[in-house]
Structure 1
Amino acid sequence: MPLSQCELHAIASLEQLFDQLSRQLPLPPHFGRNLDALYDCLANEVPGPLRLVWHDAAAAERALGADVYATVLDILQTVADERDDVALDIRR
């Protein structure tokens, strides 16, 4: 299966994050647009291999707030750690 790449740019809200992920990944119709659903879908439903690239992550951290950013980053890193076919590239 070919490598899919998801590029996140100019994330200033969770809604923007969910919008970009929904446009670029085959998220299921029942994706709940919340952080629990994000983990569930990325961990179990999105086919790999997948490379997630988050551009301007430092700006996203400022816009989202440190706590929300850390939670999102933890979800993405956990998925990458759990799945051999998912890579995470954070570009500050």
Structure 2
Amino acid sequence: MEAHIDGRIIKTTDDFYEAFARIEGVPSWFGRNLDALWDTVTGLLEKPVTLDWRDFQASRDAMGPDFETLIELLLQAQAETASAPDRVRFELKLDGQPS
């Protein structure tokens, strides 16, 4: 499954968590913090998910260091799920390009 996030409307981490929580397969009780994000993308999703963060530069400009923290976590989750056959694969794309 491919999910899209519009970077033009993601200006804060709360905006990101709100958009992420709407992705199919994300539990309704998603905690909206880094630990919950990690747990969700590395273990709770039941099918492969590609997250395409479109216009990510707008989010990067608005969020500053918070954006970098989210991206770092998502890239680590991507690497971990790619090398663990017992986990559902998570992939991050920025503006349609694999990271």
Query: TM-score, structure 2 length as denominator?
Result: 0.79
Work out whether residues 52 and 92 of structure 2, in 8 Å CA contact, stay in contact via their aligned partners in 1. yes
> Where in structure 2 are the equivalents of 1:1-92 lying within 5 Å?
4-9=1-6, 10=8, 11-65=10-64, 67-84=65-82, 85-91=89-95
* Offset from partner CA, 1:23-67 (integer Å, 9 cap, x none): 1232223321111211111111012211110111111011111x1
Code of the residue aligned with 2:71 in structure 1: it is: L
**Sequence identity, in percent?**
26
How many residues get paired? Answer: 88
Instruction: Kindly indicate whether the alpha-carbon contact (under 8 Å) linking 2:21 and 2:28 is maintained by their aligned counterparts in 1.
Output: no
Taking structure 1 as the reference length, the TM-score comes to 0.85
Deviation, structure 1 residue 79? 1.0
Q: Distance in 2 between matches of 1:34 and 1:12?
A: 16
Which aligned segments of 4 or more residues in structure 1 are displaced greater than 4 angstroms?
none
